[in-house]
A and B are shown apart, each in its own frame.
Chain A
């Protein structure tokens, strides 16, 4: 599914000190990294659809952060060499 990621710049607003931009409410700014997660606005706000098992959405997010932190640490190690 195509998630809009661009933020349209309101050029007229550049005349003032406040920059006005537009952001879609369901922007996926991390589409490339997070494409393995199915997201849908349809079930985002309602009842959770399973209440006796294991919801892994948080585990997926934590693994993503751990992987990214390890990658960053690894890059820093390389830079020190």
Chain B
């Protein structure tokens, strides 16, 4: 599969529009994560829906486009909800995407009763021949329905290696050869894995088929306890840049080098920081050359005896690892005990809790703020921990917010204004989702209540009166970024 060389680019997030619109043309590729923009309607036959008007506006931007999936990874034994294919195809076709990619991880499994659960975090697949077969089945079930070439992204893996598993490079190579797909090589992930005690970058790169690398991802990370996290938080670490510089001349099929940053870090890092990353990527892109067949960056590794199946099936691995993340305390066997003793499991639980809370905050900010102002920190943390234990995660922020609101309602807390505030924010989500205005009651002036919380103050003794607030849908705000703090 020959991939067209597109150049350097950015994963689209709100706030980067000035760089995409800049007349200097420095950003040549826009990579879209379509699921981030999907609306979710659980009761419809087709629950996932694109915001088509917004996709069309992105399409009008001058960059070439690529599509990067974030919600339906393909590394596990469970084939993702087939209903996501239609809107994914629609996004690819609307944007005229050159290729599509997804992560070589899993985020779905089953609980002890066999019910489907989402893990809320990308988890590493079983790296054995059986795991290769399972991932290959899942990849081809998705890639076979897409109209463009497909690549899988090399993930972070915070876990300690388990006995009998293949190396990360061997597993990646075996999967992409079996599935006949490309590699989205996330160099920051591979470097993070080395820092966290897994395979070295050099060994990993020596084991993967370099001619299958369609795309490189670069990003910044941060230290968190004893781990280096793939946080997408700012500057690309210099060693990652150096690995890219060494490697790129040996990638004959490289289509794009893409930089990633999370929206929450953009105000701190600034557009000029992202622009610096773009300039660095241009420097790297210029390292490409016509690769010769005899070219080799690394000495071919000694042939290794590939791992044989260690008795684990991908399904059992996925269930037991998920259980350690979601239902701590269930030590039914040696593997579960081994996982429970891996400090990375506690790390993932902690990061998962923050992901879930952040998803809730993005929709129920004032309700959460009232809870935090009314409860001491330990009580609030206990409430959150109990919530996370009571309910498995959801990949859609809208669902996580609904579940949290349901949980708080059942607690029947005696916190003034909490439930009318929750009602307002949950209703506002519905208004944003379908654009239909709705009304909610308040027992005090909602403007005073919301402004008080907005200042970070606890609303106390506000005058009581009956109010009915009509919540109006937002005007479409696209490419408005002038209030970003740089």
User: Which residues of B sit under 8 angstroms from A78, Cβ to Cβ?
Assistant: none
The distance from the CB of B351 to the nearest CB of chain A, in whole angstroms, is 6
Complex partner residue of B453 from A13, A25, A29, A35, CB under 8 angstroms: A29
Please classify how large the interface on chain B is, using the bins under 10, 10 to 19, 20 to 34, 35 or more.
35 or more
Establish whether residues B472 and A20, one from each chain, have CB atoms under 8 Å apart when the complex forms.
no
User: B469 to chain A: closest CB distance in Å?
Assistant: 5
Q: A23-B471, A49-B33, A52-B122 are in contact. Are A42 and B446 (CB under 8 A)?
A: no
Instruction: Determine whether the beta carbon of A53 is less than 8 Å from that of B231.
Output: yes
Residues A1-41 near B (CB distance < 8 A)? 1-2, 7, 13, 17-31, 33-41
Q: In this assembly, does A45 line the interface, its C-beta being within 8 Å of a C-beta of chain B?
A: yes
A49 close to B483 (CB less than 8 A): no
- Which residues of chain A from 35 to 80 have a CB within 8 Å of any chain B CB? 35-62, 64-65, 67-69, 72
Residues of chain A with a CB closer than 8 A to B110's CB: none
Does any Cβ of A come within 8 Å of B304's Cβ?
no
- The prevalent SS among residues of B at the interface is mixed
Q: Is the CB of B466 within 8 A of A23?
A: no
Cβ B484 vs Cβ A38 within 8 A: yes
Pick from A7, A26, A35, A46: contact of B36, CB below 8 A: A46
- The verdict on A41 contacting B454 (CB below 8 Å), with A22-B470, A49-B262, A55-B262 known, is no
Chain B residues with CB under 8 Å of A50's CB are 70, 230-232, 262
* B contact residues around A19 at 8 Å (CB): 445, 465-468
* Least CB distance, B388 to chain A, in whole angstroms: 12
- Chain B interface residues toward A at CB < 8 A: 11, 13-15, 33, 35-40, 51, 54, 70-71, 105, 107, 120-122, 155-156, 189, 221-222, 224, 229-233, 262-268, 351, 354-355, 357-359, 361-363, 365-366, 368-369, 372-373, 395-398, 424, 428-429, 431-433, 439, 445-447, 450-451, 453-457, 465-474, 477-478, 480-485
